[in-house]
Chain A
Amino acid sequence: MDDIKQKLLSKSKQTTEDWRGKILCYACLSLIIVLIVSILYFIVNRGTATFTQDHLSLTQFLTGKQWNPGHHQVGALPMIVTSFLVTILAAILATPFAIGVAIFMTEYAPRKETKALRAVIELLVGIPSVVYGYIGLMVVVPLVRKLIGGTGFGILAGTLVLFVMILPTVISLTADSLKAIPVSYRQAALALGATKWQSIYKIVLRAALPGILTAIIFGMTRAFGEALAVQMVIGNAVLMPKGLGTPTATLTSQLTSQMGNTVLGTVSNNALWSLALVLLLMSLVFNLLIRVITRKGAIK
């Protein structure tokens, strides 16, 4: 009797097993949470040292044009402007192209061709960024030099390389959002006598707009954070961009090329960490934008 009672009251083997499994999962979860918290903490801590330890002004950092941290001049405006310029230009180039391919995949192509195109896009995603940078250096830079003169390094070369790099991301996300539009929308348009293009342009694209915007912002996030490919073709001179073909630098390219040359704790090093902080904050902003758009634009 006592035996049975004890058996009923104590935890079964299954329950303990389940607990063990859950604990394993929670351990993995806490690892990820600790990781993100420490990334935020470390970068913010280092990134603000320029302003708290070295007492340089934040306004000078954001609006100054002279970058010479050795002499306490940390105007990061040229890099911020260039980063935004290449990102936005690449997005402007990629968007119509991506929408065209996405429309083909969801509205025109037979199943087999859509599958083949998906494979093409996955391959493009898989090409490493250094290879894009290398091709940029070998093909795009000489091309730009021939077209607009100068050294060929600069915003135009960076834009072209980034355009190719973000294209697959934007295409596949746009195609997903077009696919999510119910077939009945298209049928309704066709039943009213609209041509195929009218139904796509006036109905499908409008309905998928939030999804397409999200796709573009995803592409911009990637472009903004891309380091090596841009660093190889941008020219790496911290100057305000004067045209599309003059050497300049982005936040990421400056980090990549200078971080190894500075010593931790010096002003030059702290200033670089502040650039990293700007990058981090921008990726937070992009993330937030995506959330707002998805929430507002969800199909009800």
Chain B
Amino acid sequence: MNPKKTSRIAKHVIYGSVGLLVILLLFLIGYILITGLPGMSWHFLTSVSQSFEAGGGIRDQIFNSVYILILTTLISFPIALGVGIYLAEYAKDNWFTSLLRTIIELLSSLPSIVVGLFGYLLFVIKFQIGFSIISGAITLTFFNLPLLTRSIEDAFRAVPLDQRQAGVALGISKWKTIMGIVFPCALPKILTGVILSAGRIFGEAAALIFTAGQSNSVINYANWNPFSPTSPLNIFRPAETLAVHIWKVNTESILPDAHQVSSGSAAVLIIVILIFNFGARWLGNVVYRKLTATDKER
């Protein structure tokens, strides 16, 4: 076989593997949507889930997922911002910085089940908060921090040095320069990072099954007092999210319509994550244009 022929064959093999990858993605998304969408109805989205009978919905699971997502983002964003700013603007090239980077890498490589078990040990058992939304949200923060930190650091690093020099030349303090000049420049990228991490949080289940719990309490949506046990806003109630629900229904439940419920839930999950994925790009571009007064896309 001569080299030219080999080169041609290699090309075909490579094109074939790309084709397979695209087919794989189409199959995955297609399977979820085709099996999930027919069973989707207003009733399914707005009724309470059942444990033993058919016909249950996923109303509370959707609410819990969104609520935990918002809480997690609110807790993790300021911390990740602080660390990201430090790494991008203040950190010197010394042992402490490299130790810090090692720690963050280590945290991001920990299996999510291990992080979940740590949360279980700390919040559910040691602090005796029990299975609750707040335990779940803080545990997800641990899991979310390393990636969010990295995307914020990258966003800050992408801002040209001139911007900082201009700020310092005007006699503004370094901190003011960072918050007043560099931060707005980095904001579009930061937003993209936050939304992408939101997609990960929304689909995460392993870290939640032992922290936010696998069951729901009875919730009354007319009760908006966050301290009342039946209020949806109460952060000390156990809450099963959509992703946990899919897992639970498929492993431990005896629902007669388990297949239907889980395919419907999976479809909702996938659709939300698709929206996050495309929304992240779109919003990043819009904000960039607004803040910098350019028409060009990034």
Chains A and B form a bound pair: yes
Contacts of B202 in A (CB 8 A): 128
Contacts of A120 in B (CB 8 A): 21-22, 25
Q: Is the CB of A232 within 8 A of B273?
A: no
One of A55-63, A176-184, A220-228 at the interface: A220-228
Given contacts A18-B173, A133-B247, A228-B247, contact A29 B31 (CB under 8 A): no
Contacts of B43 in A (CB 8 A): none
CA distance A226 to B21 in the complex (A): 21
CB under 8 Å from chain A, chain B span 38-71: none
**Which A residue sits closest to B26, measured CB to CB?**
A120
Q: Is the CB of B6 within 8 A of A197?
A: yes
Given contacts A126-B277, A195-B4, contact A28 B21 (CB under 8 A): no
CB under 8 Å from chain B, chain A span 270-285: 273, 276, 279-280, 283-284
One of A2-10, A19-27, A72-80, A239-247 at the interface: A19-27
Given contacts A17-B176, A18-B175, contact A32 B83 (CB under 8 A): yes
CA distance A262 to B125 in the complex (A): 13
Given contacts A15-B173, A46-B121, A131-B246, contact A101 B17 (CB under 8 A): yes
**B155 in the interface (beta carbon within 8 A):** no
CA distance A28 to B148 in the complex (A): 13
A215 to chain B, nearest CB (A): 14
CA distance A17 to B178 in the complex (A): 11
A269 to chain B, nearest CB (A): 11
One of A14, A36, A117, A122 near B107 (C-beta < 8 A): A36
**A42 in the interface (beta carbon within 8 A):** yes
Q: Is the CB of B15 within 8 A of A104?
A: yes
Q: Is the CB of B82 within 8 A of A24?
A: yes
**B226 in the interface (beta carbon within 8 A):** no
**A51 in the interface (beta carbon within 8 A):** no
Q: Is the CB of B114 within 8 A of A35?
A: no
Q: Is the CB of B86 within 8 A of A29?
A: yes
**A144 in the interface (beta carbon within 8 A):** no
Q: Is the CB of B111 within 8 A of A225?
A: yes
One of B17, B104, B113 near A227 (C-beta < 8 A): B113
